[in-house]
Homo-oligomer: A and B are copies of this chain.
Amino acid sequence: MWGENNSSALNSRFDHKNNTVCNINASPPQRAAALVAAMTMDEKLVNLVDHSLGAERLGLPKYDWWSEALHGVAFSPGVHFSTNGEFSSATSFPNPITLSAAFDDALVEAAAGIIGSEARAFANAGKAGLDFWTPNINPFKDPRWGRGLETPGEDPLRIANYVKHLIKGLEGTEDTRQVIATCKHYAAYDLERWNGVVRYAFDAIVSMQDLVEYYLPPFRQCARDSNVGSIMCSYNSVNGTPACANSYLMQTVLREHWGWTKDNNYIVSDCNAVHNIYADHHWLKNAAQAAGAALTAGTDNVCEAGGWSTDVVGAYNQSLARKAVVDKALERQYEGLVRAGYFDPAQLDPYRSLGWSSVNTKKADSLARQSAVDGIVMLKNDGILPMRFGKNQSIAVIGMWANDTKTRMLGNYNGRPPFYRTPLYAAQQLGLKVNYADGPVKDTGNFTTALNAAKASDVIFYFGGIDVSIESEDLDRTTITWPESQLSLLRSLSALGKPIVVIQLGTQVDNTPLLNNNIISAILWTGYPGMYGGPAVFDIITGAKAPAGRLPITQYPGNYTTRVPMTDMDLKPSAKNPGRTYKWFDGAVQPFGFGLHYTNFTRNPPVFQSNLLLAECMLPHLDLCPFPPIPVIVTNTGSHTSDFVALAFISTTQGPAPHPIKELASYKRLRGIAPGQQREVELEMRWGDLARVDGNGNTVLYSGAYCLGLDVPERERLCFEVLGGDIVLDFWPKVGGGGNGMVRV
């Protein structure tokens, strides 16, 4: 059995009182160094691995470095949930992909604060370590990646801000750390198993530009800007060198360039990543060499999950890791624990009082529900949502996670939540007449129960998508379309002609068939919403809450997987790569940042009161009445005298659908602009240039939002609001008696 932390120094109190490690007046480096100095080499060598044995002679307890808390305290070797009673559960927030979709860093910090408090309460009770191997911040570049759900998505800025606030929440803002966060996996790790290539042996070939611009910014935030307690090196190689033996990444970049040495922060290897250095990468020949290379390159703690030995002892004995390296690694580890209060008296540790009463608090409960709500992204709505349920209304609640008892909503790296609120539960709580049926994930089943439930109902709520049986650690996807079994069920349900609302679990799949299906009235994306998934969804459905989340990832078309191998790390488009993420790929089904609302937002719009302005116009034809001119200033910043054509295109979604992409509204050729010269022009429009023609031929000026896009390609977009109601600028003559009125004489 893996190490337990119930003999943690936090409770048993490290008893070698004379050692400076317990002297709270000494500096953390001094305290850590004193402890290491007191250890024999034999004692040292059994404390460089995740399941550290401690030193009985010194009263240093065993310590398991492997605790997890991705979206709440989570099952892991270092964490021990009791079977029942105290510490039998912890709050389960949405997975990062969902929490990120809320695009609210204060929310991230608040949730992380609760996770950190609960984690520290577990640690204080000897039910967990003080360090947690979270967050997972590799940018979710490829939609196939099985661990994308563990991340805040595909954008490095979004991830960096997310992790900044997450670390603040987890580690706290006191001098003593609440817990130690571990940013993983450093670096360029985003492949599990694809086409025979496994993460343990994969060599990620990354250009320096992509590395610095895309793969590293989240880690720079952790190291340079947030001074996180710990970082984990990853399984893969980067440009030929295994990450956990990569002195350039760990020493040159992380510690030297980013100055992550202000504290003696430590690096932990992913589990067996040091073993992989020789056994899978074949970069070295044996376990001792691998351990020596890893420790010497900057790895401070070797995770040996699964019982593989990485032979730290051999590395030392064969002089592959010298004493100074061993001591430095231990000093870093123990300084981490010192800074987390591990060796302090309880009364001086601001977090030591956290206990079972700090777990599953009302605040945690309400924040878990709010996070799940806030992370929901509405991808389609024809107006069916929000839905006011009438008396006696019957609804079908169908699908693989509608009444899931398999913790599907918890995603990856979950713990045991205090309860688990399914959609079915939430629907029943609303007092509705609910007809429930299970649904398939991948395999085609019998649809009879589902169809009967639907037939007995007024509206169909379908809870489908994908789950961790399709995407998870060690399991990359090969397709990113909907499972055919579910499409088949949706087709059968659609044939009933009753409105369908799809509520979608998992990261993105190509929703094209659902978006094109008019019977499917709405789509809500939930990602992995955690223990409050069911009520959160119905908070949105009923309109108790309004959706405002945005996709933190691109929704790629299904054929994307055929267009670039997962092993291709290039971000930019090329002949064999259509480009990756919204930054370089513009063929999204629905783009990064997409999300619908129940209401309409306009931004900073100038407002034009059409009825008043038109009332002032004396022209016989209202479409010719002038719109207030748009001033545009153009500067020639180049070195040739030149004319310039100022073009302005109007676009709107007012008036009859479909709507044109844009329509030319004004233009003016400015002549002979000299280098450095500035020229102002007032672009003239008429109200008719904003109008649309309806099905009867009437020219109508519709109230609402308009934007004026300047130039081709567009350089600038001026948006404004037209108020005053829909005004017919020209009543079109009706065709006469003879059918279309174009009668023969």
**Contacts from A to B (Cβ < 8 Å):** 102-104, 107, 155, 157-158, 207-209, 211-213, 224-225, 238-241, 245-249, 252-253, 256-257, 283-284, 292-293, 296-297, 320, 374, 386, 543, 546-550, 572-573, 582-584, 586, 591-595, 597-605, 621, 624, 631-647, 649, 656, 658, 660-665, 667-669, 671, 673, 675, 689, 692-699, 705, 707, 709-719, 721, 732-733, 735-736, 739-745
Residues of B within 8 A of A602 (CB): 634-635, 637
Give which listed residue, B293, B603, B645, B745, contacts A744 with CB less than 8 A.
Answer: B293
A713 to B652, CA, bound (A): 12
Q: Are A550 and B601 in contact (CB under 8 A)?
A: no
Residues of B within 8 A of A296 (CB): 745
A541 to B602, CA, bound (A): 46
A224 to B699, CA, bound (A): 15
Residues of B within 8 A of A240 (CB): 739-740, 742
Cβ contacts A to B, 20 pairs, < 8 Å = A209-B693, A209-B695, A224-B621, A238-B742, A240-B740, A247-B736, A256-B733, A257-B732, A548-B644, A550-B647, A550-B712, A584-B658, A591-B712, A597-B640, A599-B638, A604-B633, A637-B721, A709-B717, A714-B717, A716-B718
Residues of B within 8 A of A693 (CB): 208-209, 212-213
Q: Are B694 and A641 in contact (CB under 8 A)?
A: no
Q: Are A712 and B744 in contact (CB under 8 A)?
A: no
Q: Which residue of B lies closest to A594 (CB)?
A: B712
A594 to B715, CA, bound (A): 12
Q: Are B633 and A732 in contact (CB under 8 A)?
A: no
Q: In the complex, what's the smallest C-beta–C-beta distance from A119 to chain B, in angstroms?
A: 26
Q: Are A549 and B645 in contact (CB under 8 A)?
A: yes
Residues of B within 8 A of A662 (CB): 582-583
Q: Are A740 and B601 in contact (CB under 8 A)?
A: no
A595 to B466, CA, bound (A): 46
Q: Are A586 and B695 in contact (CB under 8 A)?
A: no
A663 to B104, CA, bound (A): 18
A741 to B238, CA, bound (A): 11
Q: In the complex, what's the smallest C-beta–C-beta distance from A202 to chain B, in angstroms?
A: 15
A240 to B739, CA, bound (A): 10
Q: Which residue of B lies closest to A591 (CB)?
A: B712
Give which listed residue, B157, B247, B660, B732, contacts A664 with CB less than 8 A.
Answer: B157
Q: Are B742 and A600 in contact (CB under 8 A)?
A: no
Q: Are A593 and B712 in contact (CB under 8 A)?
A: yes
Residue with the highest number of chain B CB atoms closer than 10 Å, among A636, A710, A745: A745
A59 to B253, CA, bound (A): 100
Residues of B within 8 A of A743 (CB): 241, 247
- Kindly report how many copies of this chain are found in the complex they form together: 2
Residues of B within 8 A of A582 (CB): 661-662
Residues of B within 8 A of A158 (CB): 664, 667
Residues of B within 8 A of A732 (CB): 208, 212, 257
Q: Are B599 and A642 in contact (CB under 8 A)?
A: yes
Q: Are A656 and B209 in contact (CB under 8 A)?
A: yes
Residues of B within 8 A of A292 (CB): 745
Q: In the complex, what's the smallest C-beta–C-beta distance from A394 to chain B, in angstroms?
A: 25
Q: In the complex, what's the smallest C-beta–C-beta distance from A64 to chain B, in angstroms?
A: 28
Q: Are B550 and A245 in contact (CB under 8 A)?
A: no
Residues of B within 8 A of A238 (CB): 742
Give which listed residue, B248, B593, B624, B696, contacts A736 with CB less than 8 A.
Answer: B248
Q: Are A640 and B736 in contact (CB under 8 A)?
A: no
A693 to B624, CA, bound (A): 50
Q: Are A663 and B546 in contact (CB under 8 A)?
A: no
Residues of B within 8 A of A715 (CB): 603, 705, 707, 717, 719
A621 to B297, CA, bound (A): 26
Q: Are B640 and A546 in contact (CB under 8 A)?
A: yes
A740 to B204, CA, bound (A): 13
Q: Are B689 and A157 in contact (CB under 8 A)?
A: yes
Q: Are A740 and B600 in contact (CB under 8 A)?
A: no
Q: Are A599 and B636 in contact (CB under 8 A)?
A: yes
Residues of B within 8 A of A641 (CB): 546, 599
Give which listed residue, B239, B548, B698, B716, contacts A740 with CB less than 8 A.
Answer: B239
Residues of B within 8 A of A245 (CB): 742, 744-745
Q: Are A208 and B664 in contact (CB under 8 A)?
A: no
Once A157-B665, A660-B584, A733-B257 are accepted as A-B contacts, the answer to whether A716 and B603 lie under 8 Å apart by CB is yes
A550 to B694, CA, bound (A): 30
Q: Are B636 and A241 in contact (CB under 8 A)?
A: no
Q: Are A605 and B635 in contact (CB under 8 A)?
A: yes
Give which listed residue, B586, B601, B741, contacts A248 with CB less than 8 A.
Answer: B741
Q: Are A208 and B593 in contact (CB under 8 A)?
A: no
Residues of B within 8 A of A249 (CB): 742
Q: Are A546 and B642 in contact (CB under 8 A)?
A: yes
Residues of B within 8 A of A740 (CB): 239-241, 248
Q: In the complex, what's the smallest C-beta–C-beta distance from A647 to chain B, in angstroms?
A: 5
A209 to B689, CA, bound (A): 15
Q: In the complex, what's the smallest C-beta–C-beta distance from A702 to chain B, in angstroms?
A: 13
Q: In the complex, what's the smallest C-beta–C-beta distance from A239 to chain B, in angstroms?
A: 5
Residues of B within 8 A of A643 (CB): 374, 546, 548
Residues of B within 8 A of A241 (CB): 740, 742-744
Once A208-B695, A658-B572, A695-B207 are accepted as A-B contacts, the answer to whether A644 and B597 lie under 8 Å apart by CB is yes
Give which listed residue, B595, B634, B635, B658, contacts A573 with CB less than 8 A.
Answer: B658
Q: Which residue of B lies closest to A208 (CB)?
A: B697
Q: Are B639 and A599 in contact (CB under 8 A)?
A: yes
Q: Which residue of B lies closest to A210 (CB)?
A: B693
Once A240-B740, A257-B733, A640-B386 are accepted as A-B contacts, the answer to whether A209 and B694 lie under 8 Å apart by CB is yes
Q: Are A669 and B104 in contact (CB under 8 A)?
A: yes
Q: Are A595 and B645 in contact (CB under 8 A)?
A: yes
Q: Are B642 and A597 in contact (CB under 8 A)?
A: yes
Residues of B within 8 A of A605 (CB): 635
A592 to B633, CA, bound (A): 22
Q: In the complex, what's the smallest C-beta–C-beta distance from A161 to chain B, in angstroms?
A: 8
Residues of B within 8 A of A741 (CB): 247-248, 252
Q: Which 7 A-B pairs have the closest CB atoms?
A: A599-B638, A241-B742, A593-B712, A548-B643, A546-B642, A583-B660, A717-B717
Once A592-B712, A661-B586, A732-B257 are accepted as A-B contacts, the answer to whether A283 and B632 lie under 8 Å apart by CB is no
